[in-house]
Chain A
Amino acid sequence: MEQALAVDVQHVVKQFGEVTAVADVSLQVAPGTVYGVLGPNGAGKTTLLRMMFGLIRPDAGTVRLFGRSWADDGPRMLDGVGGFIESPRFYPYLSGRKNLEGLARLDGGVDGDRIDDVLRTVDLADRQRDKVGGYSFGMRQRLGVAASLLRAPELLVLDEPSNGLDPAGIRDMRALIGRLAGEGLTVLLSSHDLHEVEETCDKVTIMRTGSVLYHGSIAELRERAPSSGHRFVTSDDDRAREVAATLPGLRIARSEEGDLLAYGRQDEIDAYVAALVAAGVHLRSLEPDRAPLETLFFLLTEGDAAPEVPA
């Protein structure tokens, strides 16, 4: 028998009044994949995840996890699914352990050893008796992961797991996700951070204002990425723009800081540098503006009209 998709979202729509938060989104995640949902704030990522967890109902379309849906299976749909939406929340007047014990009850109960295991996995065993009200943000994020792991999930859904963490916390969280993925879990990671998704995921869906702009592997996305912009600081920017206008294929823009940004193939950038020298324009600084993948991400998710990127 063919194994059911871990996540199968078909033509889902969700509106809040006049605002379309999610517009006809479809998404499939195969078991064993580490999948990223990437997009800026307001892209509809969290709304999509809320629909997966049954916190909100789609206006149209279907959401199935391991072949189960809310309509057919109710809360059984979440069997084998763990995760959290935005920052995980707990009862501040209970200890970390008491919170987990209570949540375990709502799952039908787990033995104490399982709670010990997950607390060790997220490095909270030493602080398990402390009240959650005294936990740092990072500790609460890790407790959220522990609460998700209590159910021994096959699918882990994490929404912005590194949000609000300091650099060390981000490193630890990514290492933890990597470790869990290495154990064979399917991970669905929602993030606005390209580097996080690039570092962690095999495949990605990029969203913007409720719509899907790209589905595919990170490797394919890298191949589609344009050459990045180059940031120029010159002795005479006006003259530098005039020189650029003589070179076909080269595009010039101005950065928010006022520097010149040149876009083109590497040979065109080389030719531009030579032309500036020939024109007597002194080059004070030249550096790549963004990594190619980052450039593509911003091209996709910013501006008035997102370009079409075929999947």
Chain B
Amino acid sequence: MNHTPTRRPGIAAVMSFETRKLLAQKRTPITLVVAAVIPIIIAIVMNGQARPPKDTLFGRFIHDSGWSMPLLLLGFAGQWLLPLLTSIVAGDIFASEDQHGSWKTILTRSTSRTQLFVGKTFVALGFALVAYVILATSTIVASVVLIGHQPLVGLNGQVIASHDAARLVIESWASVAAPLLGFTCLAIALSVLTRNVAVGIAAPVALGLVMQLVGALGGVELIRPLLLTTPLEAWHGLFADPAFSGPLVVGLVVSAVWCIVSITIAFVVFRRRDYLG
């Protein structure tokens, strides 16, 4: 009996199995459907209101330009929706193995711990990006279809032509991809460290709210740029006159540092851990 596998499994094998596991759980398609449908409902409801939310960024212009609504919703989503959207899978993908007691099932196959870690991490990041792209696309398309693609009024009162507004709205949504991946990596780290699904999913959202609170305090100018929530607002400079992109660059670097630190900690702990359960 020849027992040696002819093919060695790779990261793709882990990703394939993880993707099938995700698709077999109802919450995965439900999350993606919610990401697609909720922005449409919000756009319809807000467009139907006679009095726009004037005290919010771009809120006063939602009836005037279809490019306002995606920016209003981006500001709202950054507060807790984006961290939650990313944590639903990232906070669960490692801790659920502890919950099911299945580490001993998969760690005794032919895949290495490194392959398992990388495969799971890629799937978590991939899901976060897919959910985010669906949310962004649904928001922008629904707003433009419902309201139209009129010119947009910028933060300094300047009028931004429709085609420029479209580009800036897309760039704004694209700019939150980096902190979103930062939150995903943070959720992965919490999932590995705590081995608890509830903590893995809820803690990044709670930490995001705490960071927003800290960022809103006075006298924290040195700390504020280092918070993972600050890059979620870095797109504001794109709509100033003149526009500035310094916060976007800083936000990119800060998000990358959060990603690297979180993943490194998670990887080291995962590789060295004794699995007793």
Q: Which residues does A use to contact B, with CB under 8 Å?
A: 50, 53-57, 74-76, 78-80, 83-86, 88-94, 98, 102-103, 105-109, 147, 151-154, 184
Contacts and interface: CB of A to CB of B under 8 A. Distances in A.
A50 B276 contact: yes
Given A93-B24, A106-B13, A109-B13, A83 B108 contact: yes
Nearest to B17: A102
Contacts of B25: 93
A153 B4 CA distance: 9
A75 B112 contact: yes
Contacts of A152: 1-3
B106 A106 contact: yes
10 contacts: A53-B104, A55-B103, A75-B112, A76-B110, A79-B4, A89-B105, A92-B100, A93-B25, A105-B9, A151-B5
Given A55-B107, A102-B21, A108 B2 contact: no
B190 to A, nearest CB: 22
A65 to B, nearest CB: 11
Q: Which of A50, A76, A91, A153 counts the most chain B CB atoms within 10 A?
A: A91
B101 A107 contact: no
Nearest to B9: A108
Contacts of A50: 104, 274-276
Q: Can you list the 7 inter-chain pairs with the closest CB atoms, starting with the nearest?
A: A80-B3, A106-B109, A56-B274, A108-B7, A89-B101, A108-B5, A102-B17
A154 B3 contact: yes
B107 A54 contact: yes
B107 A153 contact: no
Interface string B14-26: 1011001100110
B8 interface: yes
Contacts of B79: none
B110 A78 contact: yes
A106 B112 CA distance: 9
A90 B102 contact: yes
A208 to B, nearest CB: 20
B111 interface: yes
Given A106-B109, A108-B110, A91 B13 contact: no
Contacts of B108: 53-55, 78, 83-85
A29 to B, nearest CB: 16
Nearest to A21: B276
A55 B104 contact: yes
B6 interface: yes
B105 A147 contact: yes
Contacts of A184: 1
Nearest to A153: B3
A152 B2 CA distance: 8
B3 A88 contact: no
A92 B97 CA distance: 11
B135 to A, nearest CB: 25
A85 B3 CA distance: 20
A224 to B, nearest CB: 34
Contact of A80 (B4, B100, B102, B103): B4
A154 B3 CA distance: 7
A72 to B, nearest CB: 14
A152 B192 CA distance: 32
Interface string B236-275: 0000000000000000000000000000000000000011
Contacts of B3: 79-80, 151-154
A89 B100 contact: yes
Q: Which of B7, B100, B110 counts the most chain A CB atoms within 10 A?
A: B110
Given A55-B275, A56-B275, A106-B110, A88 B105 contact: yes
Nearest to A53: B108
Contacts of B105: 84, 88-90, 103, 147
Contact of B104 (A85, A109, A153): A85
Contacts of A103: 17, 105-106, 109
Q: Which of B6, B8, B104 counts the most chain A CB atoms within 10 A?
A: B104
Contact of A55 (B2, B111, B274): B274
A62 B27 CA distance: 44
A154 B1 CA distance: 8
Nearest to B274: A56
Contacts of B102: 89-91
B27 to A, nearest CB: 10
B24 A94 contact: yes
B43 to A, nearest CB: 34
A136 B89 CA distance: 29
A7 to B, nearest CB: 15
B63 to A, nearest CB: 45
A70 to B, nearest CB: 10
Contacts of A151: 3, 5, 110
B276 A56 contact: yes
A11 B204 CA distance: 45
Interface in B50-82: none
